[in-house]
Amino acid sequence: MEFVYKARPARVIFGAGSLRHLEREVLELGANRALVLCTPEQRALAQSVADRVGARAVGLYDQAAMHVPIEVARDAREFAQACGADCAIAVGGGSTIGLGKAIALESHLPILAIPTTYAGSEMTPIYGVTEAGLKRTGTDARVLPKTVIYDPELTVTLPAELSVTSGINAIAHAAEGLYAHDANPVMSLIAEEGIRALAQGLPGVRRDAADLGARSDALYGAWLCGTVLGNVGMSLHHKLCHTLGGSFNLPHAQTHTVVLPHALAYNAAHAPDAMERIARAIGADDAARGLYDLARENGAPVALKSIGMAEADLDRAADIAVANPYWNPRPIERPALRALLQDAFDGVPPRRH
Ligand code: NAD
């Protein structure tokens, strides 16, 4: 056994109602002038977050948007400066936390993240900014949130379908983490437990979006899966989703949900240990089929054609995905990849090509 394990410093406060610790956590950061960030849709929640810190909230910026457009990042940075902010509280999903990261990258403001989806961005030093239609991503320790408050009560408003797809988006981080070239035994433990917790929580969330027990399981799983994303490299699945999201404007969490079973089927024979651990975590005989069933049985989309992909674009998607070489347990073979994309487009159960 040989590996490198690096712990990333983050303070995590978890539990239903844990938002009540917000002011204590702002002070713990040594901060006194918080800027609250959110999307336009989550302004009311952000206002209630600002109210909790009273006079320590010096501004509220509500223009966070998918993929962090550069204009929004610049505008928010200027707003942070004008407010004299000494920390940013990002309350929302990956888009809002991504905006916090874009601010932290240039201003060094510490971020306190309050995630309300299962995307996992709060646990990673990865940032992305979109300029002229192109998303530029990078890794920088400065963008990793210093403190994360996970309060399952804030996730009950996340609609059931988005909850399931966002949860499977998180499972994808852990699944690819299990066969990463730089995998390590600690991350693999975290990955398996994260998948287990999400697979346990999502059906309950789907039955009753306000079930706090199920919401806690799912958010706990999302934290663990996000940790994996922040620590080890991703492969074919994330590359495909990045291509489909970036070049064809497909919705983030839904794309992950549709592609994951097929990406796992592609890699299965080259990563048998990872497949065994995923299957065990979800209580299925087969990892790829089990995740396909988890999505379908919980009302999530299973076909690219149902989330806005055009069949005529599948060839171009395959070309883009093979264009930049990246590590994957199985070599990237265009014909098999094209067949995988066709299966994902049609929504048939995953199979090996
Ligand atoms: P999102 O942040 O775009 O949120 C989608 C919508 O749901 C928004 O309108 C948001 O306001 C709303 N919403 C969020 N939480 C809600 C709640 N609890 N109740 C009701 N509405 C709610 O979606 P996402 O899937 O969390 O994030 C996707 C983005 O994050 C993508 O741009 C992706 O690239 C990025 N991401 C980055 C990383 C990273 O490590 N850098 C990791 C994962 C995702």
Task: Say if residue 235's pLDDT is above 90.
Answer: yes
Task: Say if residue 136's pLDDT is above 90.
Answer: no
- Mean pLDDT for the chain? 96
Q: Work out the pLDDT band at 1, boundaries 50, 70, 90.
A: confident
- 55 CA to centre of ligand 1 in angstroms: 28
Task: Say if residue 217's pLDDT is above 90.
Answer: yes
Joined tokens for residue 189: 């433990």
pLDDT in tens, 162-178: 999 999 999 999 999 99
- 120 CA to centre of ligand 1 in angstroms: 9
pLDDT in tens, 313-349: 999 999 999 998 789 999 999 999 999 999 999 999 9
- 295 CA to centre of ligand 1 in angstroms: 19
Residue span(s) of the chain under CATH 1.20.1090.10 come to: 160-346
Which CATH architecture best describes the domain 11-155? 3-Layer(aba) Sandwich (3.40)
Which residue ranges have their beta carbon within 6 Å of ligand 1? 39, 41-42, 66-67, 92-96, 98, 116-117, 119-121, 124, 126-128, 154-155, 157-158, 166, 229, 252-253
Mean pLDDT of 118-127: 97
SS3 label, residue 89: strand
Q: Nearest C-alpha to atom 2 of ligand 1 is from which residue?
A: 93
- 273 CA to centre of ligand 1 in angstroms: 31
Residue identified by tokens 């995590």 is 12
Q: Which of 149, 252, 254, 257 to mutate to test the pocket of ligand 1 (most atoms within 8 A of CB)?
A: 252
CATH 3.40.50.410 fits 160-346, yes or no: no
Joined tokens for residue 41: 């849709």
Mean pLDDT of 272-285: 98
**Helix (H) or strand (E) run with residue 200 in it:** helix 185-207
pTM for this entry: 0.97
Residue span(s) of the chain under CATH 3.40.50.1970 come to: 11-155
pLDDT for position 9: 81
pLDDT for position 7: 86
- Phi/psi of residue 90, nearest 5 degrees: -100, 110
Under 8 Å between Cβ of 336 and 350: no
- In the chain, the percentage of residues whose pLDDT exceeds 90 is 92
> Partners of 174 in the beta sheet?
none
